[in-house]
Amino acid sequence: MEEHSVEERFRELLLRYWGFSRFRPLQKEIIDSVVSGRDTLALLPTGGGKSLTFQIPALALEGICIVITPLIALMRDQVIRLRSMEIKAQGIHSGMTSEEIDIALENCAYGDYKFLYISPERIASPLFKARVRKLNVNLVAVDEAHCISQWGYDFRPSYLRIAELREILPPGIPILALTATATSNVVDDIVDKLRFSEPNILKSSFRRDNITYVVRKVEDKGRYLRETLGRVRGSGIIYVRNRKKTKEIAEALVQMGITADHYHAGLPAAIRERRQVAWSSGEIRVIVATNAFGMGIDKADVRFVIHWDIPDCIESYFQESGRVGRDGKSSYATLLWTEEDRKRISNSVKVRFPPKKRIKDVYEALANFFNIPIGSGRGETHDFSLTEFVTKYRFSLTEAYNSLLFLQREGYIEFTEEINNPSRVRFLVGRDDLYKFQVANESFDSFIKLLLRSYTGMFSEYVPINEDFLASKTGAGRDTIYQYLIRLASQHIISYIPGKKTPFVIFTEERLERKSLLISDSNYNTLKERYSYRLGKMLDYVTNQSHCRTLMLLNYFGEEGERCGVCDICRSFNETDLSKYEFETIREDLRKAVEKGDMTTAAVAEDVAAVAGHDKDKVIKVIRWLLDHNELGFDEKRRLHWKI
């Protein structure tokens, strides 16, 4: 295609499928880079429209785009959304049967599909490796690309397999890596681990000028919520670490007269979806949730995000707080903490990294739980109840959970959170044979017609169905619908896979003997040190009383900038009535004077005024601000000294 026709095609697709007349900042540059065949790492903030950067080029080019994501729920949501736009998309993940996967890959090879979503562990499957060679792949998109780096906050060893696609696919197919948060170390790691032909990083600024960042040390968080939500307008999210607490806080808000509900991964999928829709539509004002809430949300007018607890790291805090103000209007990101919170999170390193002996105990118990012999089990997927597991082997829930996470980081297993797999149906007979069956079995005729009216594509692939929906259409009970499906399956008219809600454990390697289960000191200690580092940076942000919040976040991600002027620190700084230049100049001169030693406040003020030529009143204002914000302090003789 000529250049002008390519540009027209992009704009046509953008308007036709998404209803936009123009691209958001950086989207077009990323698309151009990918279409030119270059490996590209794109850093776009939460809500920056990452999906469009691979969906537009994939639609514009011949062939299919492989999208790799670790989030099964998000994978399913995107496939449903694309299909609703009449774009052929398929998803393959651990909850599917081998027959479903086989049919899905066959359809992608010969059915004119545009997108194939896979979880990263799928790449190691011999079936996938064989079938992917038949696909006319135009692009590989890697979502949540920070998961490939041990420097990142969500490292997943299965991501290291993505580069194997280079050896399977024809040369020249570009990789687009996408993430919302990445430090410079993580960026370098992504480029290296995905074997980029050359570094090619496109990123937008992490700065969000419409967000006011606030940190409050408060003993009574409930009272703070009551006062703040009575004063601030608009909808928002309150993030809580504990599932039980989400319900308690939501109920307390309702008693205050605020429409609210709670959300976490342990709720049934239908309830989660209903509550998300109610919040997105404005039916309820506040959703109180764990970090399970937020992926794929596209609500532009969120006015506040409040963190009830201190997050583990700045990356997750930045991503979650970034869900406010996507419409560009003024919004608030507030973090609440107590001294008890600080102590608890400081101790979380011990909790997060159980002793290596205990991790091995959990591994052996897990293999025994599924009756996996030594040397077997590689690639096997198992339904998993963590509660049943810890009860049977008498582990503490926290200890077992964190041991499983470590085994995942080491690459021995993949452990998914609880997900909901809907029921699926596929017709095993063609249309002619089905018609003959309907004529001969009149009692099934109306039900089969209902299936065909309600869902499409059931002759070529497994299609998700909802028994409750079918029951509402017929006026029959859910059990009646279930019996119809079972009877049709028993007569080999359909293949019916009942839905279930369960987490999964996948053994990515065969079961090893205990002595062969390697947990190296260096690897264990490195992961522990990096977690401690990220935790320390988060606590620095929380306890900081003198540096602009926005600048601290920008600096963490390797970006420079100016004070935001609106965070809680900047607002207290603004009370000095000094320009940023004046304040910083006086502070630097104060530093030199105080470092001389043996000087009181009056002596320092006199010295700085005389030597540097500053107005003495302004110098005293800066000294008071620095004392109030714990940068300066007094010794036992009331002499000034720097505390940081």
User: 368-381: per-residue pLDDT in tens?
Assistant: 999 999 999 988 88
> Does 605 or 310 have the greater pLDDT score?
310
**Please, which pLDDT band fits residue 4 given cuts at 50, 70 and 90?**
low
pLDDT tops 60 at residue 1? no
DSSP secondary structure code for residue 563 in this structure: -
Measured from the Cβ of residue 375, the count of other Cβ atoms closer than 10 Å reads 10
**Would you mind telling me the total number of residues written for the chain in this entry?**
644
- For the segment 573-593, the average pLDDT, to the nearest whole number, is 78
- For the segment 566-593, the average pLDDT, to the nearest whole number, is 81
Q: In which residue are the tokens 């053994």 written? A: 507
Q: Are 417 and 292 in contact (CB under 8 A)?
A: yes
pLDDT tops 80 at residue 22? yes
Cα–Cα distance between 522 and 76 in angstroms, integer?
A: 38
Span 136-185, pLDDT tens digits? 999 999 999 999 988 877 888 889 889 999 999 999 999 999 998 888 88
Cα–Cα distance between 179 and 187 in angstroms, integer?
A: 10
Q: Which of 118-127, 209-218, 387-396, 631-640 has the lowest mean pLDDT?
A: 631-640
pLDDT on residue 368: 96
pLDDT tops 70 at residue 641? yes
CATH of domain 423-498: 1.10.10
Q: Specify burial of residue 367 (Cβ count, 10 A radius: 0-12, 13-18, 19+).
A: buried
Q: Are strands 137-142 and 463-465 parallel, antiparallel or unpaired?
A: unpaired
| CB neighbour list of residue 167: distance below 8 Å, 6 or more residues apart | none
pLDDT on residue 420: 67
Q: Which of 1-10, 127-136, 336-345, 525-534 has the lowest mean pLDDT?
A: 1-10
pLDDT on residue 382: 87
- For the segment 51-67, the average pLDDT, to the nearest whole number, is 94
pLDDT on residue 598: 66
Question: 346-355 burial by CB neighbour count: b if 16+ within 10 A, else e?
Answer: eeeeeebbbe
Average of per-residue pLDDT values in the chain: 88
pLDDT tops 70 at residue 296? no
Q: In which residue are the tokens 């452990």 written? A: 415
> Does 614 or 51 have the greater pLDDT score?
51
pLDDT on residue 635: 78
> Does 288 or 21 have the greater pLDDT score?
288
> Does 474 or 40 have the greater pLDDT score?
40
- Output phi, psi for 202, to 5 deg: -115, 125
Q: Which of 85-89, 320-324, 344-348, 623-627 has the lowest mean pLDDT?
A: 623-627
**pTM value > 0.85:** no
Cα distance from N-terminal residue to C-terminal residue, the chain: 60
pLDDT on residue 429: 92
Annotation: CATH topology of 211-346: Rossmann fold (3.40.50)
pLDDT on residue 573: 76
> Does 35 or 576 have the greater pLDDT score?
35
- Between helix 467-474 and helix 442-454 the angle, nearest 10°, is 120
pLDDT tops 60 at residue 3? no
Instruction: State the architecture of 3-203 in CATH terms.
Output: 3-Layer(aba) Sandwich (3.40)
Cα–Cα distance between 498 and 211 in angstroms, integer?
A: 45
Q: Where are the domains of the chain?
A: 3-203, 211-346, 348-419+503-532, 423-498, 575-642
**Please, which pLDDT band fits residue 121 given cuts at 50, 70 and 90?**
confident
Q: Are 93 and 73 in contact (CB under 8 A)?
A: no
- For the segment 458-475, the average pLDDT, to the nearest whole number, is 89
Closest CA to 564 of 213, 109, 254, 270: 213
| CB neighbour list of residue 12: distance below 8 Å, 6 or more residues apart | none
**Please, which pLDDT band fits residue 502 given cuts at 50, 70 and 90?**
confident
Cα–Cα distance between 307 and 314 in angstroms, integer?
A: 12
Span 417-426, pLDDT tens digits? 656 678 899 9
**Please, which pLDDT band fits residue 550 given cuts at 50, 70 and 90?**
very high
User: Considering the chain, what percentage of its residues have pLDDT values greater than 70?
Assistant: 97
Q: In which residue are the tokens 């997750």 written? A: 316
Annotation: CATH topology of 348-419+503-532: Arc Repressor Mutant, subunit A (1.10.10)
pLDDT tops 80 at residue 225? yes
Q: Are 262 and 288 in contact (CB under 8 A)?
A: yes
**Please, which pLDDT band fits residue 77 given cuts at 50, 70 and 90?**
confident
pLDDT on residue 48: 67
Q: Are 180 and 44 in contact (CB under 8 A)?
A: yes
- Percentages helix, strand, coil for the chain (3-state, rounded to 5) are 50, 15, 35
Q: 575-642: same fold as 423-498?
A: yes
pLDDT on residue 468: 87
- For the segment 50-73, the average pLDDT, to the nearest whole number, is 91
Displacement of CA 270 from its chain's centroid (Å): 21
CATH of domain 575-642: 1.10.10
Q: Quote the tokens at residue 42.
A: 């794109």
pLDDT on residue 418: 58
User: Considering the chain, what percentage of its residues have pLDDT values greater than 90?
Assistant: 49
- For the segment 403-413, the average pLDDT, to the nearest whole number, is 87
- For the segment 268-284, the average pLDDT, to the nearest whole number, is 88
